[in-house]
Every structure is written in structure tokens, then in C-alpha cells.
Structure 1
Amino acid sequence: MKTIAINQYGSAEAFTMINMPKPEPQADEVQVAIHAFSLNPMDIAGRMGALSSPFTDLWSFPLVLGWDFSGVITKVGSDITSFKTGDAVFGSAAPAHAANNGTYGEFITVNTKELAHLPSGLSFDQAAALPIAGLTAYYGMKHNLNLQPGQKILIQGGAGGVGLFAVQIAKAFDAYVATTASANHRNLLVDLGADEVIDYHETNPATVLHDYDAVFDTVGDIDTGLKVLKADGQLATIAAQPTDAQQYDQQKKAAFQFTQGSSEDLADLAKLTINGQVKLTIATLPFAVASVIKGHQAIESRHTTGKIVIHVTD
């Protein structure tokens, strides 16, 4: 199979097209012919050698990166009962995968913990944009913060890959949503449902927001988030580790989020997308080394909005 891989850690220019053997499914896995995959900041960390165990436990060179994908099942393991050959699916690979078993290629094998059937009305490119960023936001809103209708939430970093999902999912949960972003993203976020958009270059959110029920932090500014919360509010962060002092600020709860999404969560996220409650902002590029290089450089520049999807096949 064709893969876009690296032979050493380093810059985005290190990617090259390499033919590698197809990964074969274990008893509890399926093999998927990939139709599309998306890029994540985690991919950049992997390329630069900045990830550690468990991500790197099975890695060697050449190395195929990537976790998010959509495609069609081509083989099923002997223990698989809920999926069959020919099923269109989307999902996320396990954190630790073999060197030839990332998503930057034509085939992948995965277990079914974070795998869902592709519903009618959702394209392969759209589905590939959902898993990691979408699940991170959905898990935060539903399971971690237990966001309820009418509650007020601040989403720090609303224009990023996870932030865009979080703003829309929070609105789908009927919350009042404030978010931080630069001024050039204001109109986009208002169109997606944000009730307040605060230009963090001009205004500290803690000076204008008070007594919020929840904060979802994607930028690592825990101190500001805690100042926005009411006395028994909750903060979940995906960008920093709270200090002891931050974890015990009055009755407030501050914790790093370990996302543990499921097939059911993916299915719910797909429904929100099909219903129009989650609108995807996607840049689609063809399956080529130049596309992956361009995508990595764009994410590293921190000027991307939404998701970058690599289209492999129809």
C-alpha cells in the first residue's frame, strides 16, 4: 500500500511516499481501506519526536503517523460481530499503533472502541474531520463538565480545531456560550452560535465575565478560567496541567481532561453534524506528500481555522 511516512523525526519536509505492507487485523480488529484522514496537532508532535509512551511504544522507522480516518471495511477479525466487510465507517486509531498502521496511508487496522458506522448524509471527508477534535469537545461538554441547558460556559480558544466543535456542541446543549478568539474570527463564531466573542488581544475575559458554571480551556490559561468561574464551577483543560493551588481554588474544580470517547459518542457527534447543529470548517487536500507537508506547516503556524482533511479516494 502507498503511505506518506517519515524516516526520522524532524521538519514537515521529512515526509515521503513509501510502499509498505498492509497491516492485517487481529481477532478484535477490522481492516479499513482509507477514503480520507485528517490532521491534528498531535500529528505534529509525533513527527517532531515530542510524544512519549504509550504513543511511541510500537514505533520504528519508516513511520506512518495519523489517527483520524474514514473508509470502508475490507476485512474483519474473528471476534468482530458489530461490523462487516463493506461497511462504511469512521473513527480514531488507538493511541499506540504500529509503525505501518497510522492513517497516512491506504489501509489501517483498528479495534472498534472508537469506530462508528458512517451515516447517510455524512461524507467520508466530513467524517474524517470529526473523531479526535470532535470527540474531545463532545466528551468535555457531555461527560466531563456535564453541561446543562441554561448554564454559562466560557470556551477559551473558540476558533481552533477543538474550540469550533466545543462552541457548537455547547449551543446544541442549550448553554450560553462565551468564547475567546482574535477579531478576525468573530463573525465565524457568531455565525456558529457564540453568544459573546471576546478579543483576547484587547480584553481579559476575567474582567467582563463572572459567575460562569463551566470553562473549557484549549489554550492553557487556567488562571483566567478560574477567575471567570463561580465558587462551585468546573474547569476542564486540554492544554495544561493544573497546579495544586489551581485544583483547590475555593470549591472550584479544575482538571486536565483525559478524553475517553466511544462509538456511541461518535454516532451522536455525527447526528449533530447531519442535523446542522455542528457545521464543519474543512480544507480538503489531495493524497500527496505535498498536501501533508502543507497541512503540517499550516497547523504549526497556528493560523488554521477548522480541520485539514486529506482525501485519499472516492
Structure 2
Amino acid sequence: MKTIAINQYGSAEEFKEIEMAKPQPKSDEVLVEIHAFSINPMDIAGRAGMLGSPFTDNWSFPLVLGWDFSGVVVEVGSDVEGYAKGDKVFGSASSSHSSDNGTYGEYIAVDNTELTHIPDGLTFDQAAALPIAGVTAYYGMKHNLDLQAGQKIFVAGGAGGVGLFAVQIAKAFGAYVATTSSENHRQLLEDLGVDEVIDYHKVSAVDVLHDFDAVFDTVGDVDTGLKVLKSDGKLATIATQPTEEQKHDQQKQVAFQFTYGTGADLDALAELVLNGKLKLMVETMPFSAENVIKAHQTIEGHHTTGKIVIHVKD
């Protein structure tokens, strides 16, 4: 199969088109012919050699990166139930996927931990944009912060890949949503229903936000989040490890979020898209080493709004 892989850690220019054997599915896995995959900041960290265990436990070179994907099932393991050859599916590869079994290729073998069927009305490109960023945001709102209608949440970094999902999911849950962004993203965020957009270049969130029920931090600024949070509120961060002092600020629940997504979470995200409550901002590029290089460079330069999806086949 054709893959876009690296032979050593380094810059985006390390990506090359490499022919590799198809991964062989285990008894509890399905083999999926990939139609699209999306690129996440963790892909950049992996390419640069900045990820540790469990991600790198089964890695060697040449290395096929990538976790998010959509495609069609072409083979079903003997112990798998609920999936059949020809099913359209999307999901995320295992955190510790082997070096020949990332999503930057034409096939991937996966179990059903974070896998589900693509519903009618959702394209392969849209589905591939959902798993990691979408599930991270949904897990934070639903499971970690237990966000309820009528509550107030501050999303630090609302225009980033995860932040755009988070502000929309929070609004779908019926919350009052405030966020920080640069001024050039204000209109976009207001169009998505955000109640309060703060230009972090000019105003500190601490000066205008008080007694919020929840904080979802995507930028690594726990101190600001704590000052915005009420005394018994909840804060989840995906960007940094809170200090012991931060964890014991009054009665506040403060924690780094470990995301354990499921197929049910993906189903919920797809339903939000189909109901018009979650708008996907997707830039699609054809499958090539040149476009993977360009996508990595664009994300590294913080020039993205939404998700970059690599379209493999129709």
C-alpha cells in the first residue's frame, strides 16, 4: 500500500511516499481502506520525536503517523461483532499503534474502542475531522466537566482545533460560553453562538469574567482559569499539568484531562453535525507527501482555523 511516512524524526520535509505491506488485522480488529484522514498537533509532536510512552512503544522506522481516519471496512476479524465488509466507518487508531499502522496510508487495522459507523449525511472528509479534536472537546464537556444547561463556561483558546469544537458543544449543551481569541476570529466565534469573545491581546479574561462554573483550558494557562472559576467550580486542561498548589485552590476541581473516547462519543458528535449544532471547518487536500508536508507546516505555524483533512479516495 502507499503510505506517507518518515525514516527519522525531524522537520516536515522528512515525509516521503513509501510502499509498505498492508497491516494484518488481529481477531478483534477490522481492516479499513482509508478514504480520508485528518492531521492533529500530536502528529507534529510525533514527527518531531516529542511523544513518549505509550505512543512510541511500538514504533520503528519507517514510521506511518496519524490517528484520525474514515473509510470502508474490507476485512473483519473473527471476534468482531457489529461490523461487516463494506461498512462506512470512522474513528481513531490506538494511541500506541504500530509503526506500519498509522492513518497516513491506504489501510489501517483497528479495534472498535473508538470506532463507529458513518451515518447518512456525513461525508468521509467530515467524519475524518471529528475523532481526536472533537472527542477531546466532547469528553471534556460531557464526562469531565459534566456541563449542564444554564451553566457558564470559559473556554481558553476558542479558535484552535479543539477550542472550536468545545465552544460549539458547550452551546449545544445550553451553556453560556465565553472564550479568548485574537480579534480576527471574533466574527467567526460570534457566528458560532459564543456569548462573549475576549481579545487576549487587549484584555485579560480575569478582568471581565467571574464566578464561572467551568473552565476548559486548551492553551496551558491554568492560573487565569482558576481566577475565572467560582470556588466550587471545575477546571479541565488539555495543555499542561496543573501544579499541586493549583489542584488545591479552594474547593475547585482541577485536573489534566486524559481523554478516553468511545464509539458512542463519535456517534454523539456526528449527531451534532447532522443537527446543525456543530459546524465543521475543514480544509481538504489530496493525498500526497507534498500536501502532508504543507499541512504540518501550516499547523506548526498556527495558521489554521479548524481541521486539515487529507482526502485519499472517493
Given the two structures, how large is their TM-score scaled by the length of structure 2?
1.00
> 2:96: which partner in 1?
96
CA distance in 2 between counterparts of 1:234 and 1:54 reads: 28
Per-residue CA deviation, residues 111-158 of structure 1 (Å, 9 max, x unaligned), is 101001000000000000000000000000000000000000000000
- Separation (CA, whole Å) in 1 of partners of 2:39 and 2:250: 39
Distance 1:303 1:123 in 2: 25
The letter of the residue matching 1:63 is: L
The residue that corresponds to 1:45 in the other structure is 45
Write the deviation string for residues 255-284 of structure 1: whole angstroms up to 9, x where unpaired: 000000110110010000111100000110
What are the equivalent positions in structure 2 for 1:182-221 lying under 5 Å apart?
A: 182-221=182-221
- What residue in structure 2 maps to residue 225 of structure 1? 225
What is the alpha-carbon distance in structure 1 between the residues aligned to residue 5 and residue 146 of structure 2? Answer: 39
Alignment partner, residue 144 of structure 2: 144
Which residue identity is paired with 1:193?
Answer: G
Residue by residue over 1:2-60, the C-alpha shift from the partner in whole angstroms, topping out at 9 and shown as x without a partner, is 00000000000010000000001001000000000000000000000001111111111
Secondary structure of the corresponding residue to residue 186 of structure 1? helix
Instruction: Please give the alpha-carbon distance, in whole angstroms, between the structure 2 residues aligned to 1:248 and 1:303.
Output: 36
After superposing on structure 2, the runs of 4+ consecutive aligned residues of structure 1 that deviate more than 4 Å are none
Matched to 1:21, the amino acid is A
Q: What residue in structure 2 maps to residue 56 of structure 1?
A: 56
> What letter matches 1:244 in structure 2?
E
1:71 and 2:84 equivalent? no
CA distance in 2, matches of 1:298, 1:161: 13
- Tell me, what secondary structure is at the counterpart of 2:179? strand
Q: CA deviation at 1:303?
A: 2.1
Percent identity between matched residues is 70
The aligned counterpart of 1:299 is 299
User: Which amino acid letter does the alignment assign opposite residue 273 of structure 1?
Assistant: V
Give the TM-score of the pair, scaled to structure 1.
Answer: 1.00
1:19 aligns with 2:19: yes
Matched residue type, 1:51: L
What SS does structure 2 have at the residue aligned with 1:213?
strand
Q: Find the aligned partners of 1:175 and 1:56 in 2 and give their Cα distance.
A: 38
Within 2, Cα distance between the matches of 1:111 and 1:191? 38
Paired residue for 2:128?
A: 128
Match of 1:9 in 2: 9
- The alpha-carbon deviation at position 253 of structure 1 amounts to 1.1
Equivalents in 2 of 1:203, 1:60: separation in Å? Answer: 46
Partner of 1:235: 235
Give the length in aligned residue pairs. 314
- Match of 2:278? 278
Name the counterpart of 1:162. 162
Give, in whole Å, the separation in 1 of the partners of 2:69 and 2:214.
Answer: 31
AA of the residue aligned to 1:222:
V
